[in-house]
């Protein structure tokens, strides 16, 4: 009974590989399918391990790996009773795993549904909504800071990564909220001096030191905070929101240019236009642009 049980397990595990090798010998082009199959399996295993490390499932995963190692050793050393007991209870262990760690598995599947592959094909619309929500929160915070004439510098990372800037500050990895942003820039608090970096829809770091713009074209009366905002926007594609400590006026630095004295609505529109990813542009807007191009072509022909 033990020999047949072990044989069925080994045969079940090795069967896909034996089938692939047989098909490959008959059709060499089958190699493409084999490679694709392996890549998908490796990717799923990698994502599962990466997620498990950040949750309480990591300890359980290590326990499962240990059991699999013991099963393999029991097969090699021909420890039939131990091998039979472990392989007999493995299916029940999988059921227990699903029941106990149901919430973690659900979150993992949600993350898989919002990964780079679905974003590339435009299937993930949640990112657009989240980016808009973050912009609204930043605008609320900027308005509150402006009212109290509290100096602040908030930087949105875009396509060009600014990890070196993030590393030189105090890492937070916190959810964006108006209350947190206002609290960070409150005078005489540990993090008020420097810039806040928003990366991947989170406050990645605070008290960051930015490169200063030293162009002769910049007015001399512009302070260090504004020069820092202009500097990072010139060296990268980042967009900076600056609140003046002297006047309370809100400015935006983009592509090395300072847009000063902005009202709440204007600030919101600028950030929505340049921070929200272009690949998530509204279909209706695209249609309007196409219609406008056609009208311009007709006018040019006339």
| Of 222 and 265, the one with more pLDDT | 265
Spatial contact of 254 and 233, defined as CB atoms under 8 Å apart: yes
Give the model confidence (pLDDT) of 195-215 as tens digits.
Answer: 999 998 999 999 999 988 876
70 burial level (CB within 10 Å; 0-12, 13-18, 19+): middle
* Dist CA 106 CA 57 (whole Å): 12
**Beta strand spans in the chain (E):** 152-156, 170-174, 195-199, 202-208, 239-243, 250-254, 257-262
Whether the CB-CB separation of 17 and 24 falls below 8 Å is answered with no
Tell how far CA 262 is from the center of its chain: 30
Per-residue pLDDT band at 166 (split at 50, 70, 90): very high
Domain boundaries of the chain, sorted by first residue: 2-113, 126-280
β 202-208/170-174 pair status: antiparallel
Q: How far is 237 from 105, CA to CA, in rounded Å?
A: 37
Helices (H) and strands (E) in the chain, counts: 12, 7
Q: What is the pLDDT of residues 142-154, one digit of tens each?
A: 999 999 999 999 9
Residue the block writes with tokens 């875009």: 158
Comparing 58-72, 180-194, 216-230, the range with the smallest average pLDDT is 58-72
Residue with token string 């979150």: 107
Torsion region of 173: left, alpha or beta (phi above 0 gives left; psi -120 to 50 gives alpha): left
C-alpha of 103 from chain center:
21
Q: Is the pLDDT of residue 299 over 90?
A: no
Segment 177-187 mean pLDDT: 94
Per-residue pLDDT at 55: 57
pLDDT attached to residue 268:
93
Torsion angles phi and psi, residue 199, rounded to 5:
-135, 135
Span 15-34, mean pLDDT? 68
| Residues contacting 48, CB < 8 A, separation 6+ | 108
Residues 6+ apart with CB under 8 A from 205: 165, 166, 167, 169, 170, 171, 172, 196, 197, 199
For 40, 62, 114, 295, the CA distances from 49, given in Å and listed in that order, are 14, 10, 17, 54
Tell me which residue has tokens 């008290």. 207
Superfamily of domain 126-280: DNA integrity scanning protein, DisA, N-terminal domain (3.40.1700.10)
Task: State yes or no: pLDDT of 94 exceeds 70.
Answer: no
Q: What is the mean pLDDT of the chain?
A: 77
**4, pLDDT greater than 50:** no
Gap between the Cα atoms of 235 and 158, Å rounded: 12
């Amino acid at each position: 009974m033990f020999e047949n049980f072990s044989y069925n397990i080994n045969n079940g595990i090795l069967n896909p590989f034996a089938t692939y090798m047989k098909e490959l010998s008959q059709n060499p082009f089958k190699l493409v399918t084999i490679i694709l199959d392996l890549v998908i399996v490796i990717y799923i295993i990698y994502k599962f391990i990466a997620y498990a490390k950040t949750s309480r499932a990591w300890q359980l995963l290590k326990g499962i790996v240990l059991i699999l190692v013991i099963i393999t050793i029991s097969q090699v050393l021909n420890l039939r009773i131990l091998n039979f007991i472990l392989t007999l209870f493995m299916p029940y262990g999988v059921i227990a795993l699903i029941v106990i760690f149901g919430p973690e598995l659900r979150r993992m599947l949600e993350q898989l549904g919002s990964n780079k592959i679905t974003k590339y094909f435009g299937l993930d619309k949640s990112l657009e909504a989240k980016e808009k929500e973050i912009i609204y929160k930043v605008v609320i915070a900027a308005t509150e800071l402006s009212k109290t004439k509290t100096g602040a510098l908030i930087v949105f990372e875009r396509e060009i990564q600014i990890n070196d800037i993030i590393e030189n500050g105090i890492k937070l990895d916190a959810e964006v909220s108006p209350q947190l942003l206002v609290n960070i820039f409150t005078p005489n608090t540990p993090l008020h001096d420097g810039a806040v970096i928003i990366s991947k829809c989170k406050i990645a770091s605070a008290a960051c030191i930015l490169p200063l713009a030293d162009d002769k074209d910049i007015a001399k009366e512009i302070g260090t905070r504004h020069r820092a905002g202009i500097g990072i926007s010139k060296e990268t594609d980042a967009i900076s929101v600056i609140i003046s400590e002297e006047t309370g006026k809100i400015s935006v630095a983009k592509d090395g240019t300072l847009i000063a004295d902005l009202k709440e609505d204007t600030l919101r529109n600028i950030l929505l236009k340049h921070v929200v990813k272009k690949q998530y542009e509204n279909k209706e807007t695209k249609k309007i642009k196409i219609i406008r191009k056609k009208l311009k072509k007709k006018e040019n022909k006339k």
